[in-house]
């Protein structure tokens, strides 16, 4: 039956996540101003506290489901700006689990693996990557050269899942993935990137300079299966974007309230001030995008992660976060740009979600190809 | 628990209405707009869906009234034609207001009107024919008299006003909005001539004026206690959002194949990124609009306070539906401008529906 009510079990988990997010917010402010410091794996306040992500993933009967809850928990975490329990796994782990052999999965089952696709010259178009692995027949090793950029969990991860071109002993070429462990000679991590926002996030470039790895580290997956890991992360990014957007909306509503402006939903357009009307439209954009995230996660719970709906959720969430974090500042006026207040960080953090993990344009390409029945060659 | 799953019965009803809408209703739309009239046979087809009659089903005989189902079905009708959707949604709005907010006496006397063999219409009259009209400042007013009320005012954009047996008139009474059931034939009620508008011509919308109309105390919706007029507005906004979702879907489904066929500069129009991206955005926004409408309808169905969600769903649909209809015309170029194709009509209907507040309900 069509329903949008959270269950009691849902609310309990989300309330717990929210309480932790309130604590996380203070750390978010600190690390926003100390971008070279890596936040700890767990904050002192977290010890003894349940990890809301784990609670969501274990969600039993009586909840709206683990995938839905996970996305709502992520939204809460991003509302605060800093998770008290840092996620152990990276997207590289998902790739491993999806395409690697049982032996490979066993070997690296406890490693945090960052995913390394993007390069300075290749973001939206992974086909443009230049990192190349050449096979050395004498030593039976692959020799990797290249640079990866904007790599999340770069410093904290134990290894990187590196997307690379390859040149085989028989001369064949293609694209593949390699797992490279930290400490491998020739593999270095650059300094923390200087970003507009999400400054607390561990983001660096990775350098591969004649980095030698054994054949065992060759993770042979077909490109399509490997890229499919993004089908469940896309709506997640939408949820994260909306967490930041909601933080901006909550702050703005509070400040409006302090000046005696209470938003009424009863009247029509002509009954409200420009400020109230703008705010209502931002709330509508938020709610609409959130529903596309829930739709995608609901479908995922019933079946496999849906491609089109996942891209819809990512595109809608990313767009809403941009619009909302920008517009709340306009509504509240010049005081809102002060670094002393929340909207500064929301504005800067909010801008990333339509860019990373598949820019909004790429999501629209995916959606358009699907609805038009076009291949990548038909529609570029 | 969060779920997007319609029940089996809802899916069945949806596919039945979708089939009817796609065949006879869509085919009748242009002529109905051109002639500013809905043929009796089409009203009969709409009536045959049972969607209006369900509002009158009482809880005791396994009443099937469901705001969610109504939203699903209104969207399907609106995909065929917004005016024909309103031909259903207008009496639905009236009947569901009586069923949810009326006194036992009112339910008993009025709901049976909607259970007969033939199409029956009644109107929810909220909008007034003044520039800058807003639901928060209703000018029509009802003054308490010794045995009832005296109603005066003017209402506008009443669909099929000439065919309505009754009007549910929202008027200010003793400082707040209230709703009154008025027979079309009552003394002082004058249905004006049809007011041609940009769109929805088939509905023969008219102004209805009320001049010192004497009403019994039983005419006040809810009887002794003032009814929750906001709920009527919430229900209207939800139905309008469903209609706008339907119009949007009609545009999207129509222009997509056109853009694949049309060759410009050596390739299909759909292969140009700007067009492809606009289609993607149409898909994104039509989906989002639908979920927003469903959420408002589900709150109404469970008897909750739907005001915020109905407002958000409505405002969102207003913006997105107008954008979608506008881009739909653009994608067809000159052909989009000709009345040979339906997009120009959908563009007109989108603008017309998106300024309405009232007239329909879920």
Strand partners, A218: A178
CB-based contacts of B178: which residues, under 8 Å, 6+ apart? B142, B170, B171, B172, B220, B221, B226, B227, B229
- Output B124 or B64, whichever has higher pLDDT: B124
pLDDT (tens digit per residue) in A21-56: 999 999 999 999 999 999 998 899 998 999 999 999
For residue A268, list chain B residues with Cβ-Cβ distance below 8 A.
134-136, 357
pLDDT at A341 over 80: yes
Residue A287 Cα, gap to closest chain B Cα (Å): 8
Q: Which pair of structure tokens corresponds to residue A67?
A: 């995938």
Identity of the residue in B2, B273, B283 whose CB atom sits nearest the CB atom of A371: B283
pLDDT (tens digit per residue) in A196-220: 999 999 999 999 999 999 999 999 9
pLDDT (tens digit per residue) in B319-343: 999 999 999 999 999 999 999 999 9
Evaluate whether ipTM surpasses 0.90: yes
Mean pLDDT of B138-164: 97
pLDDT at B225 over 90: no
**3-state secondary structure (DSSP) of residue B228:** coil
Contact yes or no for A90/A109 (Cβ under 8 A)? no
Tell me if A372 and B270 make a contact (CB, 8 A cut-off).
yes
Nearest CA in chain B to A367: B280
pLDDT at A228 over 80: no
Would you state the pLDDT for residue A252?
98
State the angle between helix axes of B67-80 and B82-101 in degrees (0 to 180), rounded to the nearest 10.
160
pLDDT at A299 over 90: yes
Would you state the pLDDT for residue A323?
98
Tell me if B2 and A312 make a contact (CB, 8 A cut-off).
no
For residue B133, list chain A residues with Cβ-Cβ distance below 8 A.
270
Domain ranges in chain A are 8-80, 91-222, 229-372
CA distance B155 to B139: 9
* Domain spanning A229-372, CATH architecture: Up-down Bundle (1.20)
Q: Which pair of structure tokens corresponds to residue B90?
A: 């207008």
pLDDT at B65 over 90: no
CA distance B135 to A268: 6
The structural domains of chain B, ordered by start, are 8-119 (1.10.540.10), 123-219 (2.40.110.10), 229-353 (1.20.140.10)
CB-based contacts of A153: which residues, under 8 Å, 6+ apart? A90, A112, A114, A202
Picking from B24, B96, B51, B38, the residue whose alpha carbon sits closest to that of residue B359 is B96
Identity of the residue in B2, B132, B295 whose CB atom sits nearest the CB atom of A270: B132
Would you state the pLDDT for residue B59?
61
Would you state the pLDDT for residue A32?
97
pLDDT at B64 over 80: no
pTM for the structure as a whole: 0.96
pLDDT at B25 over 70: yes
pLDDT at A311 over 90: yes
Would you state the pLDDT for residue B63?
59
- Which of B139, B284, B286, B303 should we substitute to test contact with A (largest number of A Cβ atoms within 10 Å)? B284
Picking from A169, A314, A123, A325, the residue whose alpha carbon sits closest to that of residue A230 is A314
* Domain spanning A91-222, CATH architecture: Beta Barrel (2.40)
Strand partners, A166: A133, A174
Q: Which pair of structure tokens corresponds to residue B35?
A: 């002639």
Contact yes or no for A235/A193 (Cβ under 8 A)? no
Nearest CA in chain B to A363: B280
- Which of A291, A292, A314 should we substitute to test contact with B (largest number of B Cβ atoms within 10 Å)? A291
Q: Which pair of structure tokens corresponds to residue A2?
A: 């069509």
CA distance A125 to B112: 64
State the angle between helix axes of B229-261 and B67-80 in degrees (0 to 180), rounded to the nearest 10.
40
Residue carrying structure tokens 């206690």: B225
Phi, psi of B315 (to 5 degrees): -60, -40
pLDDT at B94 over 90: yes
For residue B322, list chain A residues with Cβ-Cβ distance below 8 A.
none
- Which of A64, A72, A268, A289 should we substitute to test contact with B (largest number of B Cβ atoms within 10 Å)? A268
For residue B259, list chain A residues with Cβ-Cβ distance below 8 A.
372
User: Does residue A357 carry a catalytic annotation?
Assistant: yes
pLDDT at B194 over 90: no
CB-based contacts of B156: which residues, under 8 Å, 6+ apart? B127, B128, B129, B133, B195, B205, B207, B208
For residue B271, list chain A residues with Cβ-Cβ distance below 8 A.
374, 378-379
pLDDT category at B60 given cuts 50, 70, 90 is: low
pLDDT (tens digit per residue) in A362-373: 999 999 999 999
Mean pLDDT of B127-147: 97
Residue B116 Cα, gap to closest chain A Cα (Å): 30
Would you state the pLDDT for residue B58?
65
pLDDT mean across residues, chain B: 96
Half-sphere exposure of A368 (CA within 13 A, CB side): 27
Residue A70 Cα, gap to closest chain B Cα (Å): 13
Nearest CA in chain A to B235: A266
Identity of the residue in B4, B271, B316 whose CB atom sits nearest the CB atom of A2: B4
For residue B357, list chain A residues with Cβ-Cβ distance below 8 A.
268
Would you state the pLDDT for residue B337?
97
pLDDT at A232 over 90: no
Phi, psi of A156 (to 5 degrees): -85, -20
Residue B180 Cα, gap to closest chain A Cα (Å): 20
Would you state the pLDDT for residue B62?
53
CA distance B255 to B140: 43
Question: Catalytic: which of A119, A283, A300, A357?
Answer: A357
First to last CA, chain B: 22
- Three-state secondary structure string covering chain A: CCECCCCHHHHHHHHHHHHHHHHHHHHHHHHHCCCCCCCCCECHHHCCCCCHHHHHHCCCCCCCCHHHHHHHHHHHHHHHCCCCECCCCCHHHHHHHHHCCHHHHHHCCCCCEEEECCECCECCCHHHCCCEEEEECCCCEEEEEEEEEEEECCCCCCEEEEEEEEECCCCCEEEEEEEEECCCCCEEEEEECCCCCCCCCCEEEEEEEEEEEEHHHEECCCHHHHHCCHHHHHHHHHHHHHHHHHHHHHHHHHHHHHCCCCCCCCCCHHHCCHHHHHHHHHHHHHHHHHHHHHHHHHHHHHCCCCHHHHHHHHHHHHHHHHHHHHHHHHHHCHHHHCCCCHHHHHHHHHCCCCCCCCCHHHHHHHHHHHHHCCCCCCCC
């Amino acid at each position: 039956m069509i329903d949008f009510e959270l269950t009691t079990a849902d609310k309990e988990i989300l309330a717990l996540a929210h309480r932790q997010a309130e604590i996380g917010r203070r750390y978010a402010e600190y690390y926003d101003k100390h971008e070279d410091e890596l936040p700890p794996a767990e904050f002192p306040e977290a010890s003894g506290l349940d990890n809301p992500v784990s609670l969501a993933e274990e969600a039993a009967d009586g909840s709206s489901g683990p995938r839905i809850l996970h996305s709502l928990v992520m939204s809460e975490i991003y509302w605060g700006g800093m998770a008290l329990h840092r996620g152990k796994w990276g997207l590289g782990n998902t790739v491993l689990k999806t395409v690697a052999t049982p032996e490979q999965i066993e070997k690296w089952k406890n490693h945090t693996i960052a995913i390394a696709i993007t390069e300075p010259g290749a973001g939206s178009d992974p086909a443009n990557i230049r990192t190349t692995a050449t096979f050395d027949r004498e030593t039976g090793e692959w020799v990797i050269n290249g640079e990866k950029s904007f790599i999340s969990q770069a410093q904290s991860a134990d290894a990187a899942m590196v997307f690379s071109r390859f040149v085989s002993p028989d001369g064949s070429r293609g694209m593949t993935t390699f797992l490279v462990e930290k400490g491998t000679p020739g593999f270095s991590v650059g300094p923390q990137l200087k970003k507009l926002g999400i400054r607390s996030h561990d983001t660096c470039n990775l350098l591969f300079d004649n980095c030698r790895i054994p054949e065992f580290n060759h993770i042979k997956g077909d490109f399509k299966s490997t890229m499919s890991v993004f089908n469940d992360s896309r709506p997640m990014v939408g949820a994260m974007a909306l967490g930041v957007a909601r933080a901006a909306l909550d702050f703005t509503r509070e400040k409006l309230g302090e000046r005696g402006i209470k938003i009424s939903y009863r009247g029509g357009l002509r009954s409200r001030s420009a400020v109230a009307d703008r705010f209502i439209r931002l709330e509508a954009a938020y709610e609409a995008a959130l529903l596309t995230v829930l739709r995608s996660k609901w479908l995922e719970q019933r079946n496999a992660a849906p491609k089109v709906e996942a891209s819809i959720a990512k595109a809608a969430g990313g767009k809403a976060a941009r619009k909302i974090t920008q517009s709340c500042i306009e509504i509240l006026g010049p005081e809102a740009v002060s670094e002393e207040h929340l909207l500064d960080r929301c504005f800067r953090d909010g801008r990333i979600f339509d860019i990373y993990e598949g820019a909004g344009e790429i999501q629209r390409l995916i959606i358009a190809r699907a609805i038009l029945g076009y291949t990548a060659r038909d529609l570029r | 628990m969060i779920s997007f799953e319609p029940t089996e019965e809802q899916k069945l009803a949806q596919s039945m209405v979708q089939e009817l809408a796609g065949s006879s209703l869509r085919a009748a739309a242009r002529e109905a707009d051109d002639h500013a009239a809905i043929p009796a046979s089409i009203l009969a087809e709409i009536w045959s869906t049972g969607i209006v009659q369900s509002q009158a089903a009482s809880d005791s005989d396994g009443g099937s009234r469901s705001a969610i189902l109504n939203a699903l079905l209104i969207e399907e009708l609106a995909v065929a034609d917004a005016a024909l959707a309103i031909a259903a949604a207008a009496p639905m709005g009236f009947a569901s207001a009586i069923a949810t907010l009326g006194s036992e006496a009112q339910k008993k006397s009025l709901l049976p009107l909607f259970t007969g063999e033939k199409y029956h219409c009644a109107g929810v009259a909220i909008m007034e024919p003044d520039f800058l009209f807003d639901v928060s400042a209703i000018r029509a007013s009802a003054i308490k008299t010794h045995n009832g009320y005296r109603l005066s005012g003017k209402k506008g954009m009443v669909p099929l006003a000439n065919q309505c047996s009754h009007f549910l008139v929202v008027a200010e009474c003793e400082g707040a909005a209230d709703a009154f059931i008025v027979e079309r034939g009552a003394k002082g009620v004058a249905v004006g001539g049809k007011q041609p508008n940009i769109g929805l011509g088939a509905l023969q919308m008219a102004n209805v004026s009320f001049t010192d109309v004497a009403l019994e105390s039983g005419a006040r919706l809810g009887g002794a206690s003032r009814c929750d007029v906001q709920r009527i507005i919430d229900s209207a906004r939800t139905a309008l959002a469903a209609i706008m979702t339907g119009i949007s879907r009609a545009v999207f489904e129509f222009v997509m194949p056109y853009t694949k066929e049309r060759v410009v500069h050596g390739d299909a129009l759909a292969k140009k990124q700007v067009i492809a991206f606009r289609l993607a955005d149409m898909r994104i926004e039509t989906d989002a609009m639908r979920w927003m409408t469903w959420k408002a309808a589900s709150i109404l169905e469970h008897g909750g306070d739907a005001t915020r969600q109905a407002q958000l769903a409505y405002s969102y649909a207003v913006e997105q539906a107008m954008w979608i209809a506008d881009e739909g015309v653009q994608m067809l170029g000159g052909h989009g401008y000709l009345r040979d194709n339906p997009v120009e009509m959908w563009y007109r209907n989108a603008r017309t529906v998106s300024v309405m507040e009232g007239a329909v309900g879920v």
